[in-house]
């Protein structure tokens, strides 16, 4: 079945860039997502990219997709303490039942 | 309400008891999902409802787990004869039901089985 892998932890200094990586196995993935979960809260969609795109930029966020290697990354520029959260990579395939598969989540810790 | 609402937010129960967790999705959302979030395990898909179609129950871990969705809106996840390994946060999400859509998550129900 589908599998989405992420590293579990990332620690960065405030003001630096953060890069969170994700790999997936389903070559038919149509959409790839990044969700953010703050403490005690549900997940919120941060950004997404279609599988026919290589890059998407949205303010401080840059998503890069290497479809050949099935590798997705999320770069957060000028990381702030408010960015501390768990970031989930997810993939979805259109057609049939639409059930996104999520990774384990990467805990981003931003310290002053 | 404006978002997905789940209740209870916290539930502590004894091993062997049954529990019911409730999810009230966003009005007009035809798709509803239950996921389970265990420590270090990420989000595990449990069950998916889409409109009037038969639910996709492929993620339910055992026959102690069941879910229903009444009138295409509110859903209840029932766990019978709870075990300690059922302890987790149970997340409900809803979406417009299109195959491109964003999932909107509730804050979850934290279940602790003693």
- Give pLDDT tens digits for B96-107: 876 666 899 999
A9 touches chain B (CB under 8 A): no
- For an interface test with A, the pick among B6, B32, B43 (most A C-beta atoms closer than 10 Å) comes out as B43
From the list A8, A6, A18, A11, the residue with the least C-alpha distance to A70 is A6
Residue B1 pLDDT more than 60? no
The chain-wide mean pLDDT, for chain B, equals: 92
Residue A78 Cα distances to A33, A72, B55, angstroms: 21, 20, 43
Non-local (6+) Cβ contacts of B5 within 8 A are B23, B24, B106
Considering only CB atoms, B56 lies closest to which of A94, A97, A102, namely A97
pLDDT band for A96, please (50, 70, 90 cuts).
low
Identify the three-state secondary structure at position A99.
coil
pLDDT at B100: 62
Q: Which residue has the higher pLDDT, B40 or B114?
A: B114
pLDDT, one tens digit per residue, over A18-64 is 999 999 988 777 889 999 999 888 899 999 998 889 999 999 999 99
**List of long-range contacts for A44-47, beta carbons under 8 Å, 24+ apart:** A44/B105, A45/B102, A45/B103, A46/A74, A46/A87, A47/A74
- Please report the residues numbered 32 through 91 in chain B whose beta carbons come closer than 8 angstroms to any beta carbon of chain A: 33, 35, 40-43, 45, 48, 50, 56, 91
pLDDT, one tens digit per residue, over B28-81 is 899 999 999 988 778 999 999 998 888 999 999 999 999 999 887 999 999 999
Distance (Å, whole) CA A41 – CA A79 = 20
Contact list in B for residue A31 (CB cut-off 8 A) is 100
B87: closest CA of chain A, how far (Å) = 16
Non-local (6+) Cβ contacts of A40 within 8 A are B107
């Amino acid at each position: 079945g589908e599998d989405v892998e992420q590293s579990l932890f990332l620690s960065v200094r405030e003001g630096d860039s953060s890069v969170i990586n994700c790999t997936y196995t389903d070559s038919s993935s149509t959409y790839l997502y990044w969700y953010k979960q703050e403490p005690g809260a549900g997940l919120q969609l941060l950004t997404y990219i279609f599988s026919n795109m290589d890059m998407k930029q949205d303010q401080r966020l840059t998503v890069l997709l290497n479809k050949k290697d099935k590798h997705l990354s999320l770069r957060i520029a000028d990381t702030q303490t408010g960015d501390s959260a768990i970031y989930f990579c997810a993939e979805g395939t259109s057609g049939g039942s639409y059930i996104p598969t999520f990774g384990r989540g990467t805990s981003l810790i931003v310290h002053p | 309400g404006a978002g997905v609402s789940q209740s209870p937010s916290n539930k502590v129960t004894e091993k062997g008891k049954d529990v019911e967790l409730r999810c009230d999705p966003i009005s007009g959302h035809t798709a509803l999902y239950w996921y389970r979030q265990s420590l270090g395990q990420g989000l595990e898909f449990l069950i998916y409802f889409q409109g009037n179609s038969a639910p996709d129950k492929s993620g339910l871990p055992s026959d102690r787990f069941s879910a229903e969705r009444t009138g295409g809106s509110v859903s209840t996840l029932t766990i019978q004869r709870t075990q300690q390994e059922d302890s987790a946060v149970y997340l409900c999400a809803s979406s417009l039901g299109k195959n491109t859509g964003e999932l909107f998550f509730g804050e979850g129900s934290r279940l602790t089985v003693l």
